[in-house]
Amino acid sequence: MEMSVEGKSKQTVLTVKSGTPAAKRAVAKLFGRLAAMEHLDSAPYRARVKALFGKVLAPEAVVARILNDVRDQGDAALIHYAQKIDGVPLTPKTLRVSDAERIAAAKSVSPKLRAALELAAERIADYQRRLMPADIAPRAAKHGPAGVKSGLAWSPLRRTGVYVPGGTAAYPSSVLMNAIPAQVAGVKEIAIASPCGKDGMLSAGVLCACEILGITEIYRLGGAQAIGALAFGTKSVKSVEKIVGPGNLFVMLAKRAVFGHVDIDMLAGPSEVLIIADTSARADFIAADLLAQAEHDALASCVLVTDCAELAKAVEAELKKQLETLPRKQIAEAALRDWGLIVVTPNLEASIELANDLAPEHLEVLTENAAAVATKLHTAGAIFIGPYATEPLGDYMAGPSHTLPTGGTARAFSGLSVYSFLRRTSLIEADAKGLKALSEAIATLADAEGLEAHKRAVLIRG
């Protein structure tokens, strides 16, 4: 098994000395891929873009063109790009999935799958309900008059769009993980957009998940055009206030482009996992978890960081063994080849330092005293503690949403939750006595900023 270091030399184990900038950059490249991906320049990409637009455009320019067309032409642009990009003939009437189609699809899935989706839905909703914040009733501050009070009220967004990826696989779990936090937060209208197959059909599993949640507004839309429809609205698609959910490069760039016109959750790119392990960890567990991430996408990033060279070699052997029987072997193999790495560090502290620098989407801790190690980790989308907290548990059943920040953005962003769908509104109360007690200080500040009307608005009240 060969894994790339900086996309150049092919080697399996990279020895990293604690604090070495060059070594850290080599590993960090695997988690900072958005900038590189924005400059796609392969022959198939150039040919396809030229066929679509008459000239070669960078991905960002492609997205800008599609978004402008959707904003200006509405449904006509959605139908045009569905045909040209996805090869799917749609009409304004077939953009939206009918109730009959949704119900029939939900009935067609196996009872076992439906039961699993229902169990996951219950667990996700229970977790999100525990997160719901309470309003803060207005009260006086410690410093100042009792007659001036401040507080906070939470209120849900009215309408949200959820993008559910398609393509190489369908993800019913993404419906649950993105829509349930919105429902628990109190969002009344949720629109789903998901790419359909060449036959125009959406995944029965995706439609079953929608049926379980009572979501009836579902569109056969994928790519940047779906994001444009949700952001700007068309005759057939009502605009939303926020767009959530992961997608490919073009979906991610489209979300970035419409941010400000609508809100978005984050720029969630290709999935990634970083595993910290020591001599107590099992090589077969680690290999299985790396492959679980690698099979998502050829761009998925899979990194093991360990202070044990023997474990690194054992994991390499296990990867070769387990890959042989993996149905999505070709995808997983490409991910490991281009975006996989095994790193040997001098000690556990160096492994922790490296993980905190990288801020991965998923961070597994397979060490002795894993809970204690986890307290030292501060920048990750989700932390999985101990040998049985495998990342797929988080993908499906643990409860927290699996929509998480990638590409190192976990340094500043958090995973999707009810907080993503709630607005905070400040509450301010005052009586005459309280305002008068603060009026001199307010007038002084208004004078300092040259805002005479501000001062007068206070002083006129006595």
Give me the sign of the Cα torsion angle 314, 317, 322, 327: positive
- One-letter amino acid at 99 equals D
Which tokens belong to 327?
Answer: 């149905």
Q: Is 261 labeled as catalytic in the residue annotation?
A: no
The catalytically annotated residue of 101, 272, 361, 391 is: 361
The CB-based long-range contact list for 90-93 (8 Å cut-off, 24+ gap) reads 90/200, 90/220, 92/235, 92/236
What Rg do the C-alpha atoms of the chain give, in angstroms? 25
The catalytically annotated residue of 362, 364, 391, 402 is: 362
Q: End-to-end alpha-carbon separation of the chain, Å? A: 79
Say if residues 3 and 341 touch (Cβ distance below 8 Å).
yes
Q: Is 361 labeled as catalytic in the residue annotation?
A: yes
In sequence order, the 6+-apart residues with CB closer than 8 A to the CB of 300 are 270, 271, 272, 293, 294, 335, 339
Whole-angstrom Cα distance, residue 9 to residue 22? 14
Residue 156 pairs in a beta bridge with 422
The strand order across the sheet containing 217-219 reads 217-219, 189-193, 159-163, 242-244, 263-264
Whole-angstrom Cα distance, residue 310 to residue 285? 15
Indicate the pairing of strand 136-140 with strand 272-277. unpaired
Say if residues 210 and 203 touch (Cβ distance below 8 Å).
no
Say if residues 276 and 315 touch (Cβ distance below 8 Å).
no
Whole-angstrom Cα distance, residue 392 to residue 343? 23
Residues identified as active-site: 361-362
